[in-house]
Structure 1
Amino acid sequence: MIRSLLTLLGPAHAPRLYRYLAWLVTSAVLQGLAVALLVPILRTLFAGDLPTALAWLCALAAMVVLTCIAHYQQAMQGFALALLVLTTLHDRLGQHLMRLPLGWFNTEKVGRLSRSATSGTLMVTGLFAHYLGPVVCGVVVPATVALTLFVFDWRLGLTAVLCAPLIYATHHWSANAIAANDQRVEAAATVAGNRVVEFARYQPVLRAFGQARGGYAPLHAANLAQKHAGGSMLAQTFPKLLAGGLTVQLAFALLVGVGIALAATGAIDAIQLVALLALAARFVGPLAEAAARSGLLRMAGNDLDQLVSILREPGLPEPASSQPLTAPGSLAFEHVSFAYPSGPTVLKDLTFNVPAHSMTAIVGASGSGKTTITRLLMRFFDASEGQVKVGGVDVRELSNAALMAQLSLVMQDVYLFDDSLEANIRVGSPDASAQQVAEAARLAGVDEIVARLPQGWHTPVGEGGASLSGGERQRVSLARALLKRAPILLLDEATAALDPQNDAYVQAAIRTLMHNATVLVIAHRLPTIMAADQILVLDEGGLVESGTHAQLLGRNGRYAGFWKERQRAGGWRLERATQGADRG
């Protein structure tokens, strides 16, 4: 657990953790020694040696003062560490998540992350504030008492030491069982939480297909599994806690029995027996408290392991210093192959070049690897083989800041934050002036949206931009790209599902961006493809054709077939629309 705590706190705070543990152990040892002083005090007091008893009593008073000082120090440092975790952990998690590859973020891990960042964080802070101290004292104080028993009577000391393995084994078994049950409850709760979010988020789909009536089967199953896991936790936890407490009481009973046997045989006198039994009582007291807290400690340990496992996830490596660009504004793939984790190969020996200040369109069937190209350029993943270059430099030789400064990304599925319209545009450049924001909005057609919103620029757009249409969200995303003024713009099917009005704004914004930036566009719209300086045709992760629109049509190959199919689809839509108008 110490290694996990060091990972959680970070190297900078390791000395604070060691100081806390040192004070904690010191406090526990002093408590054990203070209790041990009861034996000579009682022995001299019953023997009528009042001056010696007073001397031992003064020693006890000094030991109590030292114990109080040590306990105060460990308690304050424990609370300080708990506050440190509470105030810095979320920031550390956020910084680390930014370095993880995109493939890490699956539904299960995001669900666990959500629980770990909320209830898990509170449980971990309880380690320092409530759980670790009693458990450490519950081990160190009895150990100290057992050693002092050897000083007063080796037979009672030996009895206490022989009881230790049984007590340890019982508590280890109990704590492990509780931890395993807690993990099952945690897993069930995570699945149930994910199902609740899924049920709420996809209500339009569920209602459209009549699946919202009478409940949602996956949510019902997840809730039932969570209920069963919680019931199992209650049924199995209490017997194990009782077993731990029973072992402690059996150890005390054994000590009492040995002490009485020694007194009966005259090995020790009655006065010494009373004093040693008082010491033996202090042996089992902290053990009982440790038994009561050990289950909570292991549950908090589970949350600690979850948080630490996230912090130990290897991020994409970054160079110590970013290499200077040799061909600003250019893009290149050189013999690139790539496969997603636990998936088939998506790109196979892919090679192409995109010159600076040009427009390149990528076309191909679904699953041919088009979106993967943008993900590798943004370094959401690293290529399995070959080199992905931005500005003439391998993206692995650029710092994240240097790479992101070169790129802007506009995707088909745009996410807007639950903030004002202006704040969502300023994501592209937080320090931009009001005039620059207004100009970017005008070029993307957002000013037309602003004019009809009730609070103008300050209108909240809702979670995910729910108060705007898909086309309007796309325009806001383009305004971000315009405001960022990055040398390279990546458009991942950004115009695939736009109505004519929104498409006109988007096409105008793309033409504006082409004057100052390199544009790489994944598109299905014919006008967008025709305007490209070069067209790359992908099939099953490989480049099968490249050239201009006219060159590719002249070859009568894969692209020509794609073009004819798109023309037929466009003509069918136009014909249907015309027939509908005639009937009207």
Structure 2
Amino acid sequence: MSYSQNLKNNHTQANTTTPKTLPPSQTNIGQLWHIIMQSAGEQAPILKRCIAISVLTAVLRGMAFTCFIPLFLAVASRDGGQLLLWAGVMTALIVLSSISDWFSRDYDYKGHAALASDKMRRELGQHLRRIPLQKLYAKRSGELTATIAGNVDDVIQYTMTLALMLIAAVVTPIVVGLLAIAYDWRLGVAILLLFPSILPIYFYVLPRLNANKQRLLGVLSELSAETVEYLQGLPVLKATGSLQDKASRYMQTVKHIEQEQITAMKDETLPNLALTSAVELGVMLIVALGLWLVSQGDIQLMLMAGLLVAVVRFAEPLSTFISMMSVFEMVRSGYARLQALLAIEPLPQRQPIQTPDNFNVHFEQVSFAYENSDNPVQPIHPIQVGQASQANQNTPVLNQLSLDIPANAMTALVGASGCGKTTLIRLLMRYADPQQGSVSIGGVDIRNIEPEQLNHLMAVVFQDVYLFDDTIIANIRMGRQDASDEEVIMAAKSAQCHDFIEQLPDGYQTRVGDIGNNLSGGEKQRLSIARALLKDAPIIILDEPTAALDTHSERAVQKAIDVLVQNKTVIVVAHRLSTIVGAKNIVVLDNGTVAEQGTHQQLLAKQGIYAKLWGLQGQ
């Protein structure tokens, strides 16, 4: 079972406790092992097997290196039989270690690491679907890109390489030390103490290494976010004359990375030098001890020579691993970032699962406050993760709000900016759950409706349409993936966009470009309505889809909307009051509560907030 599935199962009941994730500096080897195996998923048994074989490889190499001692002793005694014997043993051990080394690399060589990376990306993609949008919006899209596209490869592709280096650096000296005890216990113990003596130095410099990697990963994520924002915002930047300012900010981020890299290099030089020097000093101390024992006549010179060769052989991989400690810290930090993203709880699924049999919407004493921001009023947008801001946790956007939205009728939400219109719609779409109260459809609390089912109940036409860089027919078919070409074309005709599609070079196979940039605003809007028509959901949400259109496009879009909303529960977030004069129910929101409610004429007669807004727009 995958890591995110475990999380999902653990939180199917209403539970708002956030799981504690350790920062990289507090992730010990045991926790790191657990995260690595979870990240490997179905490839974990193969990864464990390869690691076990690599341990065997290190043991065989340690035994082969130790053969230098009896080999040199045989040379000293001019014993040809012993010389051939130990030369044969060493050769056999080296051959066996080479074979096992080959099999220990199956995780990389046979594509299992690539499969693990693919699985991790898929799991992250699935998990993003379950993450509350309130949590998702708190992250810039470029930061998510850096985590999903960058960290996954950085950590998984390096995992086996670093594991092999670590095992060779730890296991081989231990094997040599244990076998050396059979020849001289003092030299054997000295070798066994070599690696543990380095650990205090490593743990002393670890915080500095980790801090450098954390800062570097942070600025790299910042660069990714700035790059995405810069590229997506180029048309606006050019139109507003802000291109130079934004380019300067982008270059400042690049400069910041350069400075952090230089700082990291400088800060890591002394720790790496200290660790490498500690290894070399340890080898020198072993040599000094051996020479002293030779001078005292306690051991033979050739024994010392053989042991020296063995020590030099395992000192090389130990030094190599130490030089890669910064990469090790990068991988550990990367795994911690993936863990932190996967540890974000999905919204709780209440039991029992229920399905509404009618589609009136009810808000019951709903109170809601956003997390960690200052501005509650941003347009609903389905894609621009990280662009929507939120209100301060201590300032409720909705305050004990109760509201009935009848089925098969149009209800319009109006009010000044920040009154709670967008938040109300977001809660219905389960962007987040209210801190108090409930939202229900057909008498069923939406927390008892499966997320996929809840999505099927609603079709949303946004003011800012997002189209994917795919064909027109594929963008419309997103409304219902199993729709036939004929059904897609019928929806396009109903949405008043069939004619302009037919005039395009490749018709329905024309690619719309990044975010639909190859189409006009009115054309994109009609495609989004075609998508909603194809979905045929019982609840329609309109975020003032004609607000930014010219007269000709507005008329075409309005005709499409008239078809879309027939016999549906329709909720309109209205900015231009002239577009909702005919609504059966107009709800005026003010400071997170329902201030007024009624038809257009009834509200004008009250001479309240709605009448003032109507007068201002008329002026």
**TM-score scaled by length of structure 1:** 0.90
Give the Cα–Cα distance (whole angstroms) in 2 for the partners of residues 514 and 207 of structure 1.
38
Distance 2:358 2:64 in 1: 73
Residue pair 2:477, 2:534 contacting (<8 A) in 1 also: yes
Q: Quick one: which of 299, 310, 316 aligns to 1:279?
A: 310
Q: 1:349 aligns with which of 400, 411, 422?
A: 400
Q: Give the counterpart of 2:119 among 61, 85, 88.
A: 88
In structure 2, distance between residues paired with 1:377 and 1:214? 39
2:370 partner amino acid: Y
Q: Distance in 1 between matches of 2:317 and 2:227?
A: 43
| Residue 68 (structure 1) aligns with | 98
Map of 1:507 onto structure 2? 558
Q: 1:81/1:238 Cα in 2 relative to 1: closer, same or farther (>3 Å)?
A: farther
Question: Residues 347, 323 of structure 1: CA spacing in aligned structure 2 closer, same or farther, 3 A cutoff?
Answer: same
* Closer, same or farther: CA 216–286 of 1 in aligned 2, 3 Å: closer
SS in 1 for 2:105: helix
CA distance in 1, matches of 2:435, 2:104: 50
**CA apart distance, 1:311:** 1.9
Amino acid at match of 2:211: A
Change (3 A) 1:53 1:204: closer
Name the structure 1 match of 2:36: 5
Q: Distance in 1 between matches of 2:608 and 2:175?
A: 85
Aligned twin of 2:411: 360
Q: Alignment partner for residue 229 of structure 1, among 233, 253, 260? A: 260
Structure with more helix by fraction: 1
For residues 65 and 228 of structure 1, the distance between their equivalents in structure 2, rounded to whole angstroms, comes to 47
What secondary structure, in the 3-state scheme, does the structure 2 residue paired with 1:362 have?
Answer: strand
- Determine which of 37, 40, 64 is the counterpart of 2:67: 37
* 1:30-57 deviation digits (Å, cap 9, x = unpaired): 2212222332333244334444454444
1:198 to 229, 251, 259: 229
Cα deviation code 1:276-307 (max 9, x no counterpart): 22232234222112112222222232223222
Given candidates 372, 395, 419, the residue that maps to 2:423 is: 372
- Residues 312, 21 of structure 1: CA spacing in aligned structure 2 closer, same or farther, 3 A cutoff? farther
Shift in Å, 1:173: 4.3
Question: What is the CA distance between 1:400 and its match in structure 2?
Answer: 1.4
1:147 Cα deviation after fit: 2.3
Q: Are residues 238 and 263 of structure 1, via their aligned partners in 2, closer, same or farther at CA, if it must alter by over 3 Å?
A: same
For the residues of structure 2 that align with 1:50 and 1:509, how far apart are their CA atoms? 97
* Structure 2 match to 1:575: none
Change (3 A) 1:50 1:93: same
The offset of 1:409, in angstroms, is 0.9
Q: CA deviation at 1:215?
A: 7.3
1:560 paired to 2:591:
no
Name the amino acid aligned to 1:23: I
Offset at residue 114 of structure 1 (A): 1.5
Q: Is 1:305–2:336 an aligned residue pair?
A: yes
Contact 2:63 2:175 in 1 (8 A): yes
Deviation at 1:319, TM superposition (A): 5.0
> What secondary structure is seen at the aligned counterpart in 2 of 1:151?
coil
The aligned amino acid for 1:211 is S
Q: Aligned partners of 2:575 and 2:261: how far apart in 1?
A: 51
Write out aligned runs for 1:286-325 (5 A): 286-319=317-350, 322-325=353-356
Query: 1:251 aligned to 264, 277, 282, which one?
Result: 282
Aligned residue runs from structure 1 range 49-128, under 5 A: 49-79=79-109, 80-106=111-137, 108-128=139-159
Query: 2:48 is matched with which residue?
Result: 18
**2:529–2:564 CA contact under 8 A, matched in 1:** no
Which residue pairs with 2:599 in the alignment?
548
Q: Secondary structure at the match of 1:489?
A: strand
* Structure 1 residue 469 displacement after superposition: 2.0
Matches within 5 A, 1:562-581: 562-566=613-617, 568-569=618-619
Separation (CA, whole Å) in 2 of partners of 1:131 and 1:164:
17
Give the counterpart letter for 2:221 in structure 1: T
Q: How much does 1:482 deviate?
A: 0.5
Aligned partner of 1:461 among 506, 512, 537? 512
Deviations, residues 40-82 of structure 1 (Å, cap 9, x unaligned): 3332443344444544444444433442343222111344432
Partner SS for 1:87: helix
Q: SS where residue 495 of structure 1 aligns?
A: coil
* Structure 1 residue 265, shift from structure 2 partner: 0.8
Q: Residue 580 of structure 1 aligns with which residue?
A: none
For residues 118 and 455 of structure 2, what CA distance do their matches in structure 1 show? Answer: 28
> In structure 2, do the counterparts of structure 1 residues 396 and 545 end up closer, same or farther at CA, with 3 Å as the change threshold?
same
The answer to whether the 8 Å contact 1:7/1:308 transfers is no
Higher Cα Rg: structure 1 or 2? Answer: 1
What is the match of residue 577 of structure 1?
A: none
Find the aligned partners of 1:353 and 1:474 in 2 and give their Cα distance: 29
- Structure 1 unaligned residues grouped into runs of 5+: 570-584
Give the AA of the match of 2:35.
S
Distance 2:324 2:607 in 1: 76
Residues paired across the two proteins, number: 566
Q: Residues 320 and 107 (structure 1 numbering): CA distance in 2 closer, same or farther, change over 3 Å? A: closer
Name stretches of at least 5 consecutive residues in structure 2 with no aligned partner.
Answer: 1-31, 373-391
Residue 358 of structure 2 aligns to a residue whose secondary structure is: coil
Coordinate RMSD, CA, aligned: 2.4
Output the CA distance in 2 between the equivalents of 1:285 and 1:214.
51
Deviates more, 1:483-492 or 1:464-473: 464-473
Match of 1:486 in 2: 537
State the alpha-carbon separation in 1 of the partners of residues 245 and 120 from structure 2.
41
| 1:426 alignment partner in structure 2 | 477
Query: What residue number does 1:27 align with?
Result: 57
Name the residue aligned to 1:517.
568
User: What do the CA deviations read for 1:68-97 (whole angstroms, capped 9, x no partner)?
Assistant: 343222111344432223332221221111
C-alpha change, 1:2 and 1:103, in structure 2 (3 Å) is same
Change (3 A) 1:314 1:215: closer
Amino acid at match of 2:36: L
Q: Which amino acid aligns with 1:470?
A: G
